[in-house]
Chain A
Amino acid sequence: MSKFQFPESIKSRPVYGTLEPRGDVAYLLVADAEGAEAIYDLATAGAHVARNAHIIYLPNETGDKYTGMLQALNPAQLYIGPSYEAALSRIQRVLSNARMGLQVCLSGTEGLMGKALIEVSAAGIPHSAVQFEHSGSVARRMQCVHCKGITENVSTDPFVCSHCGLNLFVRDHYSRRLAAFQGVCIDAEDPGNVPDPVELYS
């Protein structure tokens, strides 16, 4: 099992739970990579979930490892796509057609869950009503607080901003609006004095 226990941190840092079946209502399930396992567990825990579910799944680097498992759930709709950008218009359309009562469950990497939550919130579902389960990579979507550029899949601390090239310290300070953690210049006072990058949570 690829479940990772994040250490306790500041209040800003999102915490994730375990997906649980709720009522016999419509479900929108968005997952990437190992997040498929959370969907499988959810559908196993609640027999009514799959027949009510629109699953949007982005295998990314896991390829077809989990796709057969999701097909076997026989969900109402299953979309398997190459990227979040490719899936975005589908997510937006599902939300625009949905009625109150829709259950949204997000699973997989923090970047995917955070970006999907932006759409879900914009559609009017309070974030407190959305379920999350983290699985897979602990790499982060980071915003450089200096140039505001976003660097995806950051797995080391510090890292180099992919936009402005500053050396950034990985903070737990999170923005739900941007779906990104904040990266702050680590050598501002003493340019060039940059600690060696270490893997996050190593």
Chain B
Amino acid sequence: MNTTTKPSGSGAQKMDVIVEAVTPLNDLVTRFDFKRANGEDFPTFSGGAHTVIEMQDGDRVRLNPYSLMSDPVQTASYSISVRRDDEGRGGSLFMHNHVKVGDRMRLSTPVNLFCLDLRAKKHIFVAGGIGITPFLGMIAQLERTQGRWELHYSGRSRALASYAEQLTRQHGSKVHIYFDDQSQTIDIDGLLSGQPLGSHLYVCGPAGMISWVLGRAADSAWPSDSVHSEEFLAPQSGEPFQVRLCQSDKTIEVGAHESLLEAIERAGVAAPYLCRGGACGQCETTVLEYDGEFQHRDHWLEDAEHASGKKIMPCVSRFVGKTLVLDR
């Protein structure tokens, strides 16, 4: 571990960075390149890793995860691509509207919840929209190790399919692009039925696409351990609610447009986290008492745990009701 990364209370360690380039790719997506503020190199990472970027938005700190999309061994800079979400809670809009070359920000060290299975004989990537980003790092990694791969990438249109042209130019027939506005769709059943034994499938994109691909893979008798997916959930707004934090002896109010995790952090309580998107399990919190209903949205807890009323993932899940007491 690099000794100059700063330890912080929760999450992965943080690195001070300077925005090196801001490159609009199309109407929705902008790429941001960063270099270390101290002039050192970044750590290498593995394809599929993400970083949590810290945005100082007035007196509010926003922490959003983005897949690292640069070549994992290019340690001079890190790159992320941010899709503007006009309906979201404002993190992507902040990146698009306020972040300029030369700005200082903080990035977490890389965390990988969506890594290549290196035992695979062949890697098959299925991407939808901005879900292309983790695959860019994976592809760079596999090209270096002569790994066998192919990409099936669907985007709304030629203009909005970020990196499609570059990928096709660099990798030719390994890359298959589909444009929604030309009614091109991935022949998923044909794709799944023709793959050599030992293939692994990776899917990243909108929730509907992920569940479609996972469902077709299961129907095609693919082993579940050969199929991988990643979807970062953004916390959703909802009714404000009150929470009692038992260990910290605090009662806090969760605002309509902040997550329970953010409210806990705002109250000065260091809660564990990594992905902030319902995937990694790090922020799992024990419920001591409740009178009301949970709005579970994570991909981490089992259905039975959701129903038990004993656990909540504060990064994406909310609560409606009279009383909620957490062991935090």
Does B196 belong to the interface (CB within 8 Å)?
Answer: yes
Known: A100-B196, A102-B197, A125-B198. A23 touches B221 (CB 8 A): yes
Does B120 belong to the interface (CB within 8 Å)?
Answer: yes
A97 to chain B, nearest CB (A): 9
Does B171 belong to the interface (CB within 8 Å)?
Answer: no
Q: List 9 A-B contacts (CB under 8 A).
A: A22-B221, A25-B221, A98-B196, A101-B192, A101-B220, A101-B221, A125-B197, A128-B225, A129-B223
Kindly identify which residue among B119, B192, B220, B224 contacts A124, using a CB–CB cutoff of 8 Å: B119
Other contacts beyond A100-B197, A100-B220, A123-B198: 11, CB < 8 A: A98-B196, A99-B193, A100-B192, A100-B199, A100-B222, A100-B226, A102-B197, A124-B197, A124-B198, A124-B226, A126-B225
Kindly identify which residue among A22, A99, A126 contacts B195, using a CB–CB cutoff of 8 Å: A99
Q: Interface majority SS on B: helix, strand, loop or mixed?
A: loop
Does A135 belong to the interface (CB within 8 Å)?
Answer: no
Does A109 belong to the interface (CB within 8 Å)?
Answer: no
B118 to chain A, nearest CB (A): 12
Contact: B196 with A129, CB < 8 Å? no
Does A95 belong to the interface (CB within 8 Å)?
Answer: yes
Contact: B119 with A101, CB < 8 Å? no
Does A103 belong to the interface (CB within 8 Å)?
Answer: yes
Does B194 belong to the interface (CB within 8 Å)?
Answer: yes
Most chain A beta-carbon contacts within 10 A, residue among B119, B197, B219, B226:
B197
Does B121 belong to the interface (CB within 8 Å)?
Answer: yes
B257 to chain A, nearest CB (A): 41
**Which single residue of chain A is at the shortest CB-CB distance from B199?**
A100
A129 / chain B contacts, CB cutoff of 8 Å: 223-226
Q: Provide the B177-198 mask, 1 if CB < 8 A to any CB of A, else 0.
A: 0000000000000001111111
A56 to chain B, nearest CB (A): 16
- Cα separation A123 to B224 with both chains bound (whole Å): 16
Q: Provide the B48-68 mask, 1 if CB < 8 A to any CB of A, else 0.
A: 000000000000000000000
Interface size on A, residues (CB 8 A): 17
A125 / chain B contacts, CB cutoff of 8 Å: 197-198, 223, 226
Contact: A99 with B196, CB < 8 Å? yes
**Which single residue of chain B is at the shortest CB-CB distance from A121?**
B119
- Cα separation A125 to B198 with both chains bound (whole Å): 6
Contact: B225 with A103, CB < 8 Å? no
- Cα separation A126 to B227 with both chains bound (whole Å): 11
Most chain B beta-carbon contacts within 10 A, residue among A22, A25, A100, A103:
A100
- Cα separation A126 to B120 with both chains bound (whole Å): 10
Q: Please report which residues of chain A, range 105-158, place their CB below 8 angstroms from some CB of chain B when the two chains form the complex.
A: 123-126, 128-129
Contact: A124 with B120, CB < 8 Å? yes
B225 / chain A contacts, CB cutoff of 8 Å: 126, 128-129
B194 to chain A, nearest CB (A): 6
**Which single residue of chain B is at the shortest CB-CB distance from A123?**
B197
**Which single residue of chain A is at the shortest CB-CB distance from B220?**
A101
**Which single residue of chain B is at the shortest CB-CB distance from A97?**
B197
Kindly identify which residue among A25, A99, A128 contacts B197, using a CB–CB cutoff of 8 Å: A99
**Which single residue of chain B is at the shortest CB-CB distance from A24?**
B221
What are the 9 tightest A-B residue pairs by CB atom distance, in nearest-first order?
A: A124-B198, A129-B223, A126-B225, A101-B221, A23-B221, A100-B195, A98-B197, A25-B221, A126-B223
